[in-house]
Amino acid sequence: MARLSQVFVPKDREFFDLFEEAASNIVRAADMLDQMLGTYPERRELARDILICEQEGDRITHDIIKRLNQTFVTPIDREDILAMASALDDVVDFTEEVADFMGLYRIEAPMEQAQRLAHILLQSSRQIAEAMPRLRVFKDISHYTVEINRLENDGDRVVREALAALFDNGIDPMVVIRWKDIYERLEAAIDATEHVANILEGIVIKNA
């Protein structure tokens, strides 16, 4: 299937273009969140630009599904294209949620661990963007998945440390509830990059 389409239906390769576009979009959003938290509250208006990334992500997902409806022979299984599109979309969705909830919860100063998590998210998103072009040739991506797993483990440790600190410091319960929510959304964003990596790996394994 894959080979056939490579030879006769070159247009189908546009799925890969769209995946790479989505991956760049993820990096852009994570980069802005990293800047936003790193300088918080000075550049909090970055939340608006991150929202634009989120809408751009929706547009890309929509384009992928539309193309899927119009394409007879796809370079990879249709269900894998759908799963990838949806997993990529999740990353930007969670990234945008973090940015928005900083404002909704009227956070005034970021916790240091939130900054570290945003930075891990950025690094993991970059790994996704670097791995993505290898999908065109179903090249082994284990180098990237190993790194993404490592980042996810780091993130996991930071979240646990952050939650323990919240309770240790005997802060106001309302503050605890807010921050616990934000940490969990940061963790969800990082987990979502790992989910993309797993799907990527699954597709490569299936088609190699």
Instruction: State the binding string over 107-146 for a second copy (x if CB under 8 A, else -).
Output: ---------------------------------x-x----
Residue 27 or residue 57: which is nearer to a second copy going by CB?
A: 57
Which member of 78, 133, 137, 143 binds a second copy (CB under 8 A)? 78
Which member of 9, 82, 136, 190 binds a second copy (CB under 8 A)? 82
CA atoms of 164 and 134, how far apart (whole Å): 40
From the CB of 82, what's the least distance to a second copy, in Å? 5
Contact 129, 94 (CB under 8 A): no
Q: Is 208 an interacting residue with respect to a second copy (CB under 8 A)? A: yes
Angle between helices 14-38 and 112-131 (to 10 degrees): 160
Contact 204, 135 (CB under 8 A): yes
Stretch that binds a second copy, among 16-24, 34-42, 96-104, 121-129 (CB under 8 A): 96-104
Q: Is 201 an interacting residue with respect to a second copy (CB under 8 A)? A: yes
State the DSSP code for 132. G
Task: Give which of 79, 93, 203 is closest to 145, Cα–Cα.
Answer: 203
Task: Give which of 61, 125, 156, 53 is closest to 96, Cα–Cα.
Answer: 53
Binding positions for a second copy, 141-180, rule CB under 8 A: 142, 160, 163-164, 167-168, 170, 173-174, 176-178, 180
Task: Give which of 134, 149, 130, 126 is closest to 29, Cα–Cα.
Answer: 126
Interior angle at CA 151, CA 52 and CA 16, nearest 5:
50
Contact residues for a second copy (CB under 8 A)? 65, 68-69, 78-79, 82, 86, 100-101, 104-106, 140, 142, 160, 163-164, 167-168, 170, 173-174, 176-178, 180-181, 198, 201-202, 205-206, 208
